[in-house]
Amino acid sequence: MQEQQAPVTDNVIEMIHVCKNFGSVQALKNVHLELRRGEILSLLGENGSGKTTLMNVLSGIYFPDLGEIRVNGTPVAICEPKDAFALNIGMVHQHYKLVEVFTAAENIVLGLPGATTINRRALARHVQEIADRYGFAIDPNKKVYDMSISEKQTVEIIKALYRGADILILDEPTAVLTPQETEKLFEVMRAMKADNKSIILITHKLNEVLAVSDRVTVLRKGEYIDTVDTEHASVQSLTDMMVGRAVSLEIDRPVIGDKRPVLRVTSLTCLTPEKSMALEDINFEAYGGEILGIAGISGSGQRELCEAIAGLYPITGGSILYKGLVNGFEVEESLVGKSPSEIVKKGVALAFVPEDRLGMGLVPSLDMVDNIMLKSYRRNKGFLVDRKTPQRTAERLVEELEIVTPDVHTPIRRLSGGNVQKILVGREIDSAPRLLMVAYPVRGLDINSSYTIYRLLNEQKEKGVAVMFIGEDLDVLMEISDRLLVLSGGKVMGIVDPRTSSKQAIGMMMLGHEASELEGEKAV
């Protein structure tokens, strides 16, 4: 690769005319990207816009169908991740690839050529040097399973730097961080930039783009839209580029006068199968006619809480009292010990969108009709399934929620993520619940679909349904919720009024500080 005379250029990376198809899906259509030395470039786009695919091409995970990549002006072929390393390109993926039982330092040298023995002391020193240079906080001898998500991310970044990366690709690094951790990461990124390293930040969060990057390249549906200087951009201008038209960014918060308690959780405690604490002494109430937001770093017990209420997670102690209708009378009864299908019948609906977006709640290879009847197929008598009723429901949902599908008999894995999530939320709403739990309903959705979902949740709230909204985007949670419950490490840190609380304070609570410790925050 060195035999050619490299032309003088400021661009460390140029990607020209890059195309990549997956079957008939065009993930990248003629995309361009250039990265200058010593800059932070944001790669902005909604989910499915091809950001990660483009970076996977650059880091050797995919080979492009067409196009050219130049590193320091020289055309190169990056056939596998090894080639990318050799060109000093390092990528930190969204899902970390670390060996849990190894220490930070061991993970960092893993897979590198070298002597059969490791000089741990020299290694730790070297790792510490890198950390000090950019302001990372890391203990080289800490085992990965003892680390927080943010520490694991640090290990991944140092791993790339240790291998001599000058070009660093960070794939949605802030998705799992609190506001404080995010700010710390940005400081580190600025320090690396000062050291003449080049960074590509993949993100769909606009305020981060504006906060940290020099330029921003926008992709939409696999197509290259434009590259602009951040100083000339605003949240609105970037959104418009990302979405392709002007959009409004306001989320409604209708006020409902009449609120009745629907769910009362008292001292709820759950143990994991490994007998460690998953939920510890959870106390809260959910009211009909309000949206109770639930915030927390991912893995703080959100999933366990939903599952415990839905009867899917073993409960060690405490009580879950639910006001349901028995023979037309509203009575309070305990949900503990009831089977998941009994709880569904009582009017508790759970729509949980997991990281892979399909694995819970929907069956990808079945059609919409079969997915609609997932929780109701037992209702009719007899041995055979009744597909007529769900078919009518499916057709109605397609119309009401503007679901784009060839017909209701297309396997839903062929539909786009937004439509799939509309089906999931639509099904749960259609079951006319009294308590609706939605977890990450807008995960990976484009802006338009997200707002449709917010509208649906608000409609339910106005109908008097108790809505629990577990989300990851704190800004959205603060806009839509009537009250906001903050979880950290399986404990409730406090329930605050999002209208009067600061983002910083909620961030501190997400990190494990109780509301009572914080000045000016009063529980509601």
End-to-end CA distance of the chain: 64
Rg (CA), the chain: 25
For other proteins, the binding residue among 226, 330, 407, 459 (CB under 8 A) is 226
Q: Which stretch in 13-21, 136-144, 181-189, 258-266 sits in contact with other proteins by CB under 8 A?
A: 13-21
Type of residue found at 166: D
Q: Which stretch binds other proteins (CB under 8 A): 139-147, 170-178, 326-334, 378-386?
A: 378-386
CB 399 within 8 A of CB 317: no
**Contact string (CB under 8 A) for other proteins, positions 255-294, x = contact:** ----------------------------------------
Say how many residues touch other proteins, by CB under 8 A.
64
**Binder of other proteins out of 354, 464, 489, 512 (CB under 8 A):** 354
Residue 431, interface with other proteins (CB under 8 A)? no
Rounded Cα–Cα distance for residues 443 and 421 (Å): 9
**Under 8 Å between Cβ of 79 and 123:** no
Whose tokens are 């035999």? That residue is 3
DSSP for 121-146, please give it.
HHHHHHHHHHHHHHT----TTSBGGG
Does 22 sit near other proteins (CB under 8 A)? yes
Cβ proximity to other proteins, 363 vs 524, nearer residue: 363
Tell me the per-residue interface mask from 311 to 350 with other proteins, x by CB under 8 A, - otherwise: xx--------------------------xxx-xx-----x
Residue 141, amino acid:
N
CB closer to other proteins, 115 vs 384: 384
Residue whose C-alpha is closest to residue 336's, from 374, 364, 308, 296? 308
Residues 8, 95, 248, 383: which binds other proteins (CB under 8 A)? 383
Q: How far is the CB of 490 from other proteins (least distance, A)?
A: 21
Helical H segments across 205-264, by residue range: 206-212, 235-243
**Residues 33 and 17 sit within 8 Å (Cβ to Cβ):** no
**Residue 51: strand, helix, or coil:** helix
Q: Is 508 in the site for other proteins (CB under 8 A)?
A: no
Tell me whether residue 411 or residue 464 sits nearer to other proteins (CB atom). Answer: 411
Burial class (CB in 10 A: 0-12, 13-18, 19+), 461: buried
Residue closer to other proteins (CB basis): 28 or 282: 28
360 is a contact residue toward other proteins (CB under 8 A): yes
- CA pair distance 403, 412, nearest whole angstrom: 11
**378 lies in the site for other proteins, by CB under 8 A:** yes
Q: Distance between CA atoms of 163 and 158, rounded to whole angstroms?
A: 8
| Nearest to other proteins of 42, 150 (CB atom) | 42
What does the binding site for other proteins look like in residue numbers (CB under 8 A)? 9, 11, 14, 16-17, 19, 21-26, 29-30, 32, 34, 63-68, 75-77, 79, 223-224, 226-229, 232, 237, 241, 310-312, 339-341, 343-344, 350, 352, 354, 358-366, 370, 373-375, 377-378, 383-385
